[in-house]
Structures are given as C-alpha cells and as structure tokens.
Amino acid sequence: MTYENSLAGRIEGDRIDRVAEWLEASLGPRLTAFSVRVTPLRLGKIAHGDEQPGDELERRLRNLYAVVRLLTQRDALEPAQEWLTRPNPELHDRAPAELLREGESPEPVWFAASPTF
C-alpha cells in the first residue's frame, strides 16, 4: 500500500468527530472553524460528538484534514498554521484557508501543499 492510498483511506475512513478533534488540536479551534466556515463553538460540538455535520461541512472538514495531514507528514520548514494563512503564489496569492472556507475545489490547495520533486 502506498502512502497516498493509506492517507486517502484515513481521510475517508476516520470518524468525523475524530477528524474535527484532530484539526482543533493541530490548528487550533479558530483557524479550523474559519477554514470550514463554522463557529468555534459548533466545531467543538462536532469534535465532541454532540453534533453531526451535514454533508457539505463534512466535506470541508475532510478537505482541510487532507491538506493538514499532508503538511504535517512532509518535511516542512513552517507549521501548517502559517502555510494555511499565508498568501500562496500558486493559488493566485490567496491564502489556502480562504479558498477552503469559500468551498472552492480543494485540488489546487492539495497540489500547492504537495512536495515538488
């Protein structure tokens, strides 16, 4: 099994409350909530299993999870929080968190986060 297949399985297979909880711990509740367009309070309810997100919010959480997992797995010189909030030239100088928040296709953000060879 390749790393990519393992990561894809984890992204789709992990329980959404665990995904939300991991994102809160990794990025903090404010950046996570901003990136998926919810309040930190609602994010906390999802992370603690008190609320189930709708399909759209679950998709946003899993898209953010994919990017942050990739960033934390690669040998990056900057934390995921900085990468997500800094304007990125590969994304027309927009911050990755902003694009994810707006619900745009996550693929450009994934490619920008991927290591170049």
Residues 6+ positions from 90 with CB-CB distance below 8 Å = 108, 111, 112
- CA neighbor of 86 nearest in space, from 95, 99, 77: 95
**Once rounded to an integer, what is the mean pLDDT over residues 53-68?**
96
pLDDT per residue as tens digits for the range 97-114: 999 999 888 899 989 988
Residue 104 pLDDT: 84
Cα-Cα-Cα-Cα dihedral of 29, 5, 72, 104, to 10°? -50
Residue 92 pLDDT: 95
Residue 3 pLDDT: 47
When pLDDT is cut at 50, 70 and 90, the band that residue 76 belongs to is: low
Residue 78 pLDDT: 74
pLDDT per residue as tens digits for the range 34-53: 999 999 999 999 999 999 99
Number of domains into which the chain is organized: 1
Cα dist from 93 to 56, 85, 88, 112, 116, whole Å? 25, 11, 5, 12, 18
What percent of the chain is predicted at pLDDT more than 90? Answer: 69
- pLDDT of 87 strictly over 80: yes
Task: State the residue range of the domain holding 103.
Answer: 3-113
